[in-house]
Amino acid sequence: MTSTDCGIDLAIIGSGSAAFAAAISATNQGKRAVMIERGTTGGTCVNTGCVPSKALLAAADARHTAVAAGRFPGLESARLPVGFAELIGGKDALVDQMRSEKYLDLADDYGFELVHGTAAFTGNGDGPALDVALEDGGSRRIEAAHYLIATGSAPWAPRIDGLAEAGYLTSTTAMELAALPESLLVVGGNAVGLEQAQLFARLGAQVTVIEALDRLAPFEEPEVSAAIKAVFVDEGVVVHTGATLTAVQTDDGQKTAIVRTADGAESALSVGQILVATGRRPVTAGLGLEQVGVKTGTRAEVVVDEHLRTGNPRIWAAGDVTGSPQFVYVAAAQGTLVADNALNGADRTLNYSALPRVTFTSPSIAAVGMTDAQAVGAGLRCDCRTLDLAYVPRALVTRDTRGLVKIVAEADSGRLLGVHAVAEGAGELITAATYALTAGFTVDQLAHTWAPYLTMAEALKLAAQTYTADVAKLSCCAG
């Protein structure tokens, strides 16, 4: 039996960051919001993305701290045993706790309804509605003034001969393994692939990374790519760039990966597991979008305008499903924006020019603003400076000078255009750079801004000082 529910201001498909931000904003305005989720409440970040991966990365980093302790006089390196099942159990407990506290409990606190079922659009462009197949049986039709598509994205794997038959891991299933693999091939050298590769390597697996483009972290600055490759090689990770996985063979449960390098040569690599980290695609299948005048793009993303409205004036989209930068903080900001635009006619937009990003390797990679190439492509004349961490007091006292800070500035005005870093705590450093970029700082202003001594953030000030001084000839705390 189908029941019909009317009088709803905002009906939301999905229950991740964008969905919750929109529902909370709508409820705070005194509006009625309903959220429909077909799977586990909370979306990618808390369940299978940011939270579990960073929890395991922190554990791997703790083990590596003992491995690397020998760099300090008087300390010896130690390789601690790994209870992998216990690590996964601890990660699961943390995820359950955060899902309850940051998602399920909030629905109760704010008073919006969370419906468990599978939603699809019905009706037509002039009169859209949602048909929901309820998880516990039956169905429900939901009619709302506005609708938000916030269904997120899912790991995507290319078609490779024998891969599906052999079986492979994604960033989701890799964190659900019952045992640590002896060897692992990671396909993809961007953020997720880099994080997963270092995670498993530091826990004790033999890891190989292949990247189809000519360098790791291929969309970061070349200096960043070189720095992180050096870290990986130093830690025993085998790296092949300009290389692709062409086929996978299996024999008695053992996988053999056929890898083709840039010169066309092929080699066979025997591995315990293959982790495919070749990107994510928006989840839009089965939503009935065509029926209500909502278009999708070449990667299945929902096509929206700058206000996040689809081709149907009553239907909006936010988060990964739009093809936007795949960060939880972008999804949250977009969800709030949709609630304002849909319910108040605000016509607001978001400015992504100072959007920071962090890859949680160790040392981590962080960036904000333009790369050198992007600035040149925009017709700007650039003056770029790179500071090696060997000139940063914090790196010296921790005896870890791996990394750098690169500043991209406009040549004539000195206006800050971008900052890129490889460093421990690069995410915190790049937050300071984000504030400076947002405020329209010049490198001279940045060079004369207070920075606490023996913090990694001081590297930002020192990098700015390279425009007018030789930092190798400065005293430790020269202003």
**188-222 residue pLDDT tens:** 999 999 999 999 999 999 999 999 999 999 999 99
First vs last Cα of the chain: how many Å apart?
74
What stretches of 329-381 adopt beta strand conformation (E)? 357-359, 364-369
Same domain? For 301 and 217 the reply is no
For residue 164, name the pLDDT band (cuts at 50, 70, 90).
very high
Same domain? For 371 and 408 the reply is yes
Look at residue 477 and tell me if it is in a domain.
no
State pLDDT tens for residues 341-355: 999 999 999 999 999
Same domain? For 36 and 101 the reply is yes
Same domain? For 329 and 435 the reply is no
Same domain? For 112 and 191 the reply is no
Same domain? For 328 and 339 the reply is yes
The enclosing domain of 273 has a CATH number of 3.50.50.60
Look at residue 46 and tell me if it is in a domain.
yes
Asked whether residue 8 carries a pLDDT value surpassing 90, the answer given is yes
Same domain? For 269 and 212 the reply is yes
Domain that holds residue 288: 4-50+87-155+281-344
For residue 1, name the pLDDT band (cuts at 50, 70, 90).
low
To the question of whether residue 190 is assigned a binding role by annotation, the answer is yes
Same domain? For 132 and 13 the reply is yes
To the question of whether residue 91 is assigned a binding role by annotation, the answer is no
Q: Which two tokens stand for residue 86?
A: 């216990």
- At residue 6, the pLDDT reads 78
To the question of whether residue 31 is assigned a binding role by annotation, the answer is no
To the question of whether residue 251 is assigned a binding role by annotation, the answer is no
Tell me what the pLDDT averaged over the chain comes to. 96
| Structure-derived torsion over alpha carbons of residues 67, 206, 153, 114, reported in degrees to the nearest 10 | -60
- At residue 473, the pLDDT reads 86
State pLDDT tens for residues 283-334: 999 999 999 999 999 999 999 999 999 999 999 999 999 999 999 999 999 9
For the residues 387-410, what does the mean pLDDT come to?
A: 98
To the question of whether residue 335 is assigned a binding role by annotation, the answer is no
How far is 149 from 322, CA to CA, in rounded Å?
9
To the question of whether residue 125 is assigned a binding role by annotation, the answer is no
To the question of whether residue 392 is assigned a binding role by annotation, the answer is no
Look at residue 245 and tell me if it is in a domain.
yes
Look at residue 439 and tell me if it is in a domain.
yes
Mark which of 278, 303, 327 sits at the end of a domain: 278
CB 248 within 8 A of CB 163: yes
Look at residue 74 and tell me if it is in a domain.
no
To the question of whether residue 188 is assigned a binding role by annotation, the answer is yes
CB 130 within 8 A of CB 36: yes
Look at residue 57 and tell me if it is in a domain.
no
To the question of whether residue 49 is assigned a binding role by annotation, the answer is no
Asked whether residue 10 carries a pLDDT value surpassing 70, the answer given is yes
Look at residue 349 and tell me if it is in a domain.
no
Asked whether residue 45 carries a pLDDT value surpassing 70, the answer given is yes
DSSP 321: G
Mark which of 278, 312, 330 sits at the end of a domain: 278
Same domain? For 322 and 201 the reply is no
To the question of whether residue 189 is assigned a binding role by annotation, the answer is yes
For residue 253, name the pLDDT band (cuts at 50, 70, 90).
confident
CB 358 within 8 A of CB 366: yes
Q: Which of 12, 4, 19 is nearest to 319 (CA)?
A: 19
For the residues 44-59, what does the mean pLDDT come to?
A: 95
For the residues 234-244, what does the mean pLDDT come to?
A: 98
DSSP 442: B
Mark which of 315, 344, 373 sits at the end of a domain: 344
Asked whether residue 477 carries a pLDDT value surpassing 70, the answer given is no
State pLDDT tens for residues 94-118: 999 999 999 999 999 999 999 999 9
In sequence order, what are the residues at sequence separation of 6 or more whose Cβ sits closer than 8 angstroms to the Cβ of residue 57? 195, 198, 199, 360, 362
What stretches of 88-198 adopt beta strand conformation (E)? 113-123, 128-134, 139-149, 153-155, 183-187
Same domain? For 20 and 129 the reply is yes
Which region holds residue 53: left if phi is over 0, alpha if psi is between -120 and 50, else beta?
alpha
pTM of the model: 0.95
Same domain? For 27 and 130 the reply is yes
Same domain? For 119 and 102 the reply is yes
Proportion of the chain above pLDDT 70, given as a percent: 99
Q: How much of the chain is helix, strand and coil, in % rounded to 5?
A: 35, 30, 35
How far is 316 from 331, CA to CA, in rounded Å?
13
State pLDDT tens for residues 19-39: 999 999 999 999 999 999 999
Q: How far is CA 357 from the centre of its chain?
A: 8
To the question of whether residue 303 is assigned a binding role by annotation, the answer is no
- At residue 478, the pLDDT reads 56
State pLDDT tens for residues 127-136: 999 999 999 9
The enclosing domain of 453 has a CATH number of 3.30.390.30
Q: Which of 61, 44, 56, 63 is nearest to 93 (CA)?
A: 56
For residue 441, name the pLDDT band (cuts at 50, 70, 90).
very high
For residue 475, name the pLDDT band (cuts at 50, 70, 90).
confident
How far is 43 from 297, CA to CA, in rounded Å?
22
* Count of domains for the chain: 3
To the question of whether residue 320 is assigned a binding role by annotation, the answer is yes
To the question of whether residue 410 is assigned a binding role by annotation, the answer is no
- At residue 3, the pLDDT reads 67
To the question of whether residue 446 is assigned a binding role by annotation, the answer is no
Asked whether residue 44 carries a pLDDT value surpassing 70, the answer given is yes
Look at residue 304 and tell me if it is in a domain.
yes
For residue 476, name the pLDDT band (cuts at 50, 70, 90).
confident
To the question of whether residue 193 is assigned a binding role by annotation, the answer is yes
CB 210 within 8 A of CB 276: no
